[in-house]
Amino acid sequence: EVQLVESGGDLVQPGRSLRLSCTTSGFTFGDYAISWVRQAPGKGLEWVGFIRRIVHGGTAEYAASVKDRFTISRDDSQNIAHLQMSSLKTEDTAVYYCARSNSGCIDQWGQGTLVTVSS
């Protein structure tokens, strides 16, 4: 069974940092890109970024709203991806989902982890 499990969500003050993890199982992790998507309370889905497969360079791309503040990484030996968030703003408050991507198409989702940015 394919599984993606997010962890690390928390209440954090504006300006601070937080790292989310996406632990996966049930598929060959290295064959897929990993995306991060967020959903603010009562709002729609917003793409945050993705990291390519290692064979495609393992590089990451980001939405303009998080570029230069967020960093996505992956560890194929552990089947895990991370989202490092810095300089957090109140508008970053959301449920964060990791997802498996196949040539751009998201085809599996995690259950999400809540990040609240508030003083």
Q: How far apart are CA 75 and CA 25, in angstroms?
A: 13
Count other C-beta atoms under 10 Å from residue 65's C-beta: 14
9 exposure class (CB count in 10 Å sphere: 0-12, 13-18, 19+): middle
Q: Least separation, in Å, of the C-beta of 108 and other proteins?
A: 6
Q: Is 97 in the site for other proteins (CB under 8 A)?
A: yes
The binder of other proteins chosen from 79, 106, 114, 116 (CB under 8 A): 106
Interface positions, 64-83, toward other proteins (CB under 8 A): none
Q: Which is nearer to other proteins, 13 or 70 (CB)?
A: 70
Q: Is 108 in the site for other proteins (CB under 8 A)?
A: yes
Q: Least separation, in Å, of the C-beta of 79 and other proteins?
A: 19
> Quick one: which of 70, 68, 69 has its CA closest to 50?
70
Q: Which is nearer to other proteins, 14 or 70 (CB)?
A: 70
Integer CA distances (angstroms), 25 to 4, 56, 112, in order: 7, 21, 16
Per-residue contact string for residues 2-31; x = within reach of other proteins by CB under 8 A: ------------------------------
The pairing of beta strand 45-51 with beta strand 33-39: antiparallel
Q: Where does this chain bind other proteins (CB under 8 A)?
A: 35, 37, 44-47, 50, 61, 95, 97, 99, 101, 103-112
